Amino acid sequence: MTQAERPVRIGVLAVQGAFAEHIAILREIGVDALPVRLPADLDGLAGLILPGGESTAIRKLIDTWALRQPILELAQRGAPIFGTCAGMILLSVEISDGDAPVFPLLDITVKRNAFGRQLDSFESELSVPVLGDRPVHAIFIRAPIVERVGEGVDVLAQLDDGRVVAVRQGNVIATAFHPELAGETRFHSLVATMAAEYAEPGEGSARRPHPIRRARGN
């Protein structure tokens, strides 16, 4: 167990995609992980993960189950939000193929399926200094790429050719790849640490609301 003495409660959006793998990783590190399918499932959470999957299907199901506004409110209160692959697309303020943003929390522009079809999926070892010296084994499956990074966004990882594949802005983190499919726990541990700080802020600290940005051109 690498998590703090008292487990925090983190939800994983479980309407479509690879949510089970995220739940398994969170439980492995001692987090109380719960699937989120309805707005009521967000009650009492100290963080949320948006998994990979089919971003168009996830977008539709988010609206079908009225999850958009409650998730935005959770992020605005300062709870950490972590998106992988399709989750990165959902969190971006701009999608280059013209789709409207879902949770415009990251001031980035992303391109969907930037590496081609599923047959073009690949794996890579990435340097992610915020997670330590050991490289992160990253699995890319029909992955997006970050085409533009806005002011206030920290780049966490890049491919050898310089393309950005992991970012953080305040309490929001996103990766174009799937750490959960590689058994990589360090991103989840980082989110769990952030969630613990959100759940029990230190003396004199204050939660800063996360701004909701307007999509560029909208």
> In the annotation, is 197 catalytic?
no
Q: Which candidate in 21, 22, 94, 178 is catalytic?
A: 178
- Helices then strands (H, E): number in the chain? 5, 12
Output phi, psi for 183, to 5 deg.
70, 20
> In the annotation, is 180 catalytic?
yes
Q: Which candidate in 85, 94, 197, 210 is catalytic?
A: 85
Q: Which candidate in 94, 180, 184, 197 is catalytic?
A: 180
Beta strand pairing status for 81-84 and 92-95? unpaired
Q: Where are the beta strands (DSSP E) in 30-186?
A: 32-36, 48-50, 81-84, 92-95, 106-111, 122-126, 136-140, 145-149, 154-158, 164-169, 172-175
Angle, to 10 degrees, between the axis of helix 68-76 and the axis of helix 55-64?
A: 100
Secondary structure class of 173 (helix, strand, coil) = strand
> For the chain, how are helix, strand and coil distributed in percent, rounded to 5?
30, 25, 45
> In the annotation, is 73 catalytic?
no
Active-site residues, by number, are: 85, 178, 180
